Structure 1
Amino acid sequence: MTTTAAPAPTGDPAPAPEVRTPGRLARAASGIAAAALALGAGHLVAAFLDPAASPLVAVGSALVDAAPTPAKTVAVRLLGTYDKPVLIGTVGLVLLVLAAVLGLLARAHRRTALVGTALLGVVGAATAVYRGGPTDAVPSVVAGVAGVAALLWTTSRDPSAPAAQTPDSTTAHSGRTSRRSFLVAVGVVAVGAAATAAAGTVVGRVRAAGAAARRSLGLPAPASPAPPLPDGVQLPGMTPFTTPVDDFYRVDISLVTPSVDASTWTLTVDGMVDHPLTLTYDELLAMPMVERDITLTCVSNEVGGPYVSSGRWLGVPLSEVLSRVGVQPGVDQLYSYSLDSGYTASTPYQAVIDGRDAMIAVGLDGKPLADARGYPARMIVPGLFGFVANTKWLERIELTTYAKRTAYWTERGWATDGPILTQSRIDLPKSLATLPKDKPVIAGVAWAQHRGIDKVEIQIDDGAWQETSLATDGGVDLWRQWSFRFDGPPGLHSARVRATDATGATQPEARTKVFPDGARGWHQIQFTSE
């Protein structure tokens, strides 16, 4: 029996499996996911060390410092208190675009993409160290390592990337499986980014809860309580005379609100003094306290603007602190340091010792300061714009001279001295609103802290100036409300207002910008009378 060999197979060889590689959108997503994980990791580490050292915040803060003064002024005018969230959002958006580009680049130039990702971490670390200290670099270093590791891991699962290919890569693996592996890796990184960001937020809230528990212990009773506000300071339907704490204006350079542990916080008073002094929070609270109603104003307030608020402050008189340290001859300024990103302010020494209620405040409206208001302590000096007097998150006061120290805003071209200007504002009706027939009252506020308001006049449709009715005077350091009954015909009208302070000076008509020492001019609106 003869056995014959089976015929060899004939025909075309079996086709190679289809290789489905990640598309451009998927590769861009890998870069974005890696950047998101880096930011989340940096945010988590910064939550333990210092929230201001978070990579995104460090870079954003450096941009704030580097921005020219006109740009900052325009940002405050156009965006108000939303300027910082917009800045952080813009920096984050630019970072994500760069990350997407690096993700696309990683397919053909993997090493270049990894180096680019690492450089983003280096930039964050450098800016953090420049604004703070060596330990502030840690969050950005961790972020850089996390970003590089994430991008390295995801790109290693891209079957079309040169670094991921082997001689038999097209036959040893299913293209569908390789693509799925890549997408799964990107998803894992994205989940890690969300988890680290959430963890950082939780840590921040735990720290905030600890500070809230410390504040819940309350404040000591003032040795010199504020007298009750007289009847008649508040006009019906008008802006609250005492501003609710949550509505109090806020303007500062901080991109994240400093959260200070009062149990470890200290205030140092030194410089040209005989006896330098360092106080703990409890030691500060043990000193004699005064309570005063004071209106604060920001130099960035445009004519008719909202950056003016009034509250009842509790604090230690600065005169008491200065008497303990012994001020040496030649001092002409108090140079205060904040925990807010290296912020400093120059306060005229004469304004602190002339009898006004200058204080180191620890409370507002019967409660310890909120984080956003400067907890655990801040300076308050009536009659001066905040940028020269009202340092929040206070950590040091140096008695010195203007020749030796130049403050944060003065270095950027703002005025050295900052006396509050005499100003007035129309609050009712709002511009372009309707004045109701049954209550045709135009009303507003005027202020000239530490001088007081003697007269407010209104002009309707370019007519003669007429005196308004002033509300009861609450005190020389407080704003004053005014009202005027309109008896003109129905239709469209204009109104503008001017105030005269207790020295007899009337606010000027000519408009000026807020830079360098505050806005001047008369507030004007248009309204429709029924």
Structure 2
Amino acid sequence: MATSTSDRTPDPGASPRPPRSERIAGTALWAGLGVVSTLLGMAAAHLVAAVTTPSSSPVLAVGSQVIDLTPTPLKEWAIRQFGAADKIILVGSVVLVVLVLAGVAGVLARRRLALGAGLLVALVALAAAAAVVQGSVTELLPSLVAAVTGVASLWWLHAKASATSAAEPGQPRQPREAGTGASRRGVLVAAGALAAAAAVLGGAGRFITGLRSGNVDIALPDPASPADPFPQGLEGQVEGITPLRIDNADFYRVDTRLDTPVIDQDSWTLTIDGDVEREITLTFDDLLEMDLIERDITMTCVSNSVGGEFVGGARWLGVRLTDLLDMAGVGDTADQIYSTDFDGMTISTPLDLATDGRDAMIAIGMNGEALPRAHGFPARMIVPGLYGFISATKWITRITLTTYAEKSAYWTDRDWATDAPIKVSTRIDTPNALEELPVGENVIGGVAWAQQKGGVDKVQVRIDGGAWQDAEMGPSVNNDYWRQWFYRWDASEGGHTVAARAISGDGTTQTPARAMPFPEGASGIQELRVTVT
């Protein structure tokens, strides 16, 4: 005869089911143990990477692989939405996913330690694989440290949390729920100690990375061909306008790396090979002994949207690219310069554009100092008038003369243009979109650029879709440099739209046709709305 649930006699030897709130607290505690173990493993790995190869840190290795695998439209969306913070958000997202899975590992370890430890090892294996893809087998060490430290920490915390307490006299021993009584206190103390250790190790790693990635103090020789005297910009006259020269620390950075490479100039070399009469290899000291040129050049990233921040002007010091190519002797078949950085990143530059008389160079100095590490130290390529993705190889170590048919570079493989001259454009720095302005005279100002188009001749401003009016121009540095401008506007009360366009020295007017950055640079007219009260 069937017996109803209510008729069953409770088993006096069975442990009573803990209240729901206690079960939730226990689960949360075990998840936290997984997170703490993983944080300690990540921190230890980061410290090891800091003293070896920063990019081999597991989070950075995974993040770099994510960048490589991300479709171009999604990359462009991220840059438009997050700007210079896109990499921070990427790394933060990777860390968040890892910590969520670490919490799952902790919960699994509550039932069976091998399951939780297995998930942690799987996470580390993913990072190790990314490190090998991005670098070499020698960069596995941080991942191995992360695995050993993380699993050992989880084992120790598991032992603490699984401790049993003596039952009442005459009763069988019962497993103590982690998160109750003295056991909870002991586990929390242990977890807190590991969290503190993680903070110390992670902080030490950041400190060492910061020391190693600091700028190098090198006395640079005087240029054989110095730049013209630099004029005084409008930044002291027009509030909110971009400085005529951007400081090194404020210069935009867009590349595929999540770390700042640390390269020793004493062991660095630049090799020129491929379709050349003779292969040559130069050291950093060799470059210092050559005739150097100094030029003021504005650089622009192809990901820069209309009115975007990825553009900047600086003074560069380096060796003419044509001088180096002449030393090697370029052959008759090459049509591209296929350049490679220290870690295998490749960029292709049209040979005819790089050698048409513009001041293309292998730069070693920026604004009177050695190149900052973040901007390519020991040396980088710069070709005025071309977007950076086909002209600005950082940390360059090899120049191969070849053809587009024989070799395809990183961005070419992702369907970006092979020939991408910088488009005539202007940016409104002040006022900001949706800003409230007072009635009366207001100043509209910004910067414009038209490299290899005769420079910027004029900028025009339009209010509420009316006629284009000429702005007042700042000093002209040269045709490869941007130019400041401003317009005095007698504003009336109400909502207004403000637009600006540039006209180059050869008569090219900035196009109003809207285009996204992919595949050859953005275009269109920046227009913003303000309110006058």
TM-score, scaled relative to structure 2: 0.88
The equivalent position to 1:514 in structure 2, one of 512, 517, 520, is: 517
1:55 maps to which residue? 58
Question: Using a 3 Å threshold, how does the CA distance of structure 1 residues 139 and 472 change in structure 2: closer, same or farther?
Answer: same
Whether the 8 Å contact between 1:265 and 1:281 is mirrored in structure 2 is yes
1:186 maps to which residue? 191
3-state SS of 1:311 partner: strand
Q: Distance in 2 between matches of 1:421 and 1:96?
A: 44
2:4 maps to which residue? none
Q: Distance in 2 between matches of 1:473 and 1:279?
A: 36
Asked if residue 276 in structure 1 is aligned to residue 282 in structure 2, the reply is no
Of 457-466 and 90-99, more deviation after overlay is shown by 457-466
Q: Deviations over 1:377-430 (max 9, x none)?
A: 111100000111011121221111111221212212211111000112222322
Alpha-carbon distance, 1:199 to partner: 2.9
Q: Distance in 1 between matches of 2:499 and 2:374?
A: 34
Q: Distance in 1 between matches of 2:406 and 2:176?
A: 71
For 1:462, the aligned partner's letter is G
Alpha-carbon distance, 1:362 to partner: 1.0
3-state SS of 2:528 partner: strand
Alpha-carbon distance, 1:439 to partner: 4.3
Asked if residue 90 in structure 1 is aligned to residue 72 in structure 2, the reply is no
2:378 maps to which residue? 376
2:407 maps to which residue? 405
For 1:449, the aligned partner's letter is Q
Question: Using a 3 Å threshold, how does the CA distance of structure 1 residues 205 and 511 change in structure 2: closer, same or farther?
Answer: closer
Q: Distance in 2 between matches of 1:293 and 1:493?
A: 36
Question: Using a 3 Å threshold, how does the CA distance of structure 1 residues 116 and 489 change in structure 2: closer, same or farther?
Answer: closer
Structure 2 residue runs without a partner (length 5+)? 1-14, 165-170
The equivalent position to 1:207 in structure 2, one of 198, 205, 212, is: 212
2:315 maps to which residue? 312
Whether the 8 Å contact between 1:448 and 1:501 is mirrored in structure 2 is yes
Whether the 8 Å contact between 2:234 and 2:243 is mirrored in structure 1 is no
2:102 maps to which residue? 99
2:140 maps to which residue? 137
Whether the 8 Å contact between 2:439 and 2:491 is mirrored in structure 1 is no
Whether the 8 Å contact between 2:218 and 2:370 is mirrored in structure 1 is no
1:204-283 to 2 correspondence within 5 Å? Answer: 204-208=209-213, 212=215, 215-230=216-231, 236-237=237-238, 238-283=241-286
1:296 maps to which residue? 299
Alpha-carbon distance, 1:475 to partner: 0.9
Instruction: Give the alignment's Cα RMSD to 1 decimal.
Output: 2.6
Q: Distance in 1 between matches of 2:175 and 2:331?
A: 83
Q: Deviations over 1:160-219 (max 9, x none)?
A: 69xxxxxx993899995655544443333323322322332233244245xx4xx32321
3-state SS of 2:204 partner: helix
Q: Distance in 2 between matches of 1:80 and 1:488?
A: 31
1:458 maps to which residue? 461
Q: Deviations over 1:358-390 (max 9, x none)?
A: 011111111111122211111110000011101
The equivalent position to 1:344 in structure 2, one of 340, 343, 346, is: 346
1:109 maps to which residue? 112
Question: Using a 3 Å threshold, how does the CA distance of structure 1 residues 462 and 231 change in structure 2: closer, same or farther?
Answer: same
Whether the 8 Å contact between 2:441 and 2:491 is mirrored in structure 1 is no
1:123 maps to which residue? 126
1:360 maps to which residue? 362
Question: Using a 3 Å threshold, how does the CA distance of structure 1 residues 507 and 148 change in structure 2: closer, same or farther?
Answer: same
Whether the 8 Å contact between 1:426 and 1:497 is mirrored in structure 2 is yes
Whether the 8 Å contact between 1:267 and 1:394 is mirrored in structure 2 is yes
3-state SS of 2:173 partner: helix
Q: Distance in 2 between matches of 1:171 and 1:448?
A: 79
Whether the 8 Å contact between 1:105 and 1:113 is mirrored in structure 2 is yes
Question: Using a 3 Å threshold, how does the CA distance of structure 1 residues 218 and 25 change in structure 2: closer, same or farther?
Answer: same
Alpha-carbon distance, 1:51 to partner: 0.4
Asked if residue 428 in structure 1 is aligned to residue 430 in structure 2, the reply is yes
Alpha-carbon distance, 1:275 to partner: 1.8
Whether the 8 Å contact between 2:431 and 2:444 is mirrored in structure 1 is yes
For 1:361, the aligned partner's letter is A
Alpha-carbon distance, 1:281 to partner: 1.6
Question: Using a 3 Å threshold, how does the CA distance of structure 1 residues 347 and 235 change in structure 2: closer, same or farther?
Answer: farther
Q: Distance in 1 between matches of 2:253 and 2:402?
A: 28
Question: Using a 3 Å threshold, how does the CA distance of structure 1 residues 249 and 172 change in structure 2: closer, same or farther?
Answer: closer
3-state SS of 1:486 partner: strand
Structure 1 residue runs without a partner (length 5+)? 1-15, 162-167
Whether the 8 Å contact between 1:345 and 1:391 is mirrored in structure 2 is yes
Question: Using a 3 Å threshold, how does the CA distance of structure 1 residues 206 and 500 change in structure 2: closer, same or farther?
Answer: closer
2:506 maps to which residue? 503
Whether the 8 Å contact between 1:235 and 1:471 is mirrored in structure 2 is no
Alpha-carbon distance, 1:440 to partner: 3.0
Whether the 8 Å contact between 1:233 and 1:473 is mirrored in structure 2 is no
Of 413-422 and 224-233, more deviation after overlay is shown by 224-233
Q: Distance in 2 between matches of 1:383 and 1:172?
A: 72
2:167 maps to which residue? none
Alpha-carbon distance, 1:435 to partner: 4.7
Whether the 8 Å contact between 2:458 and 2:503 is mirrored in structure 1 is yes
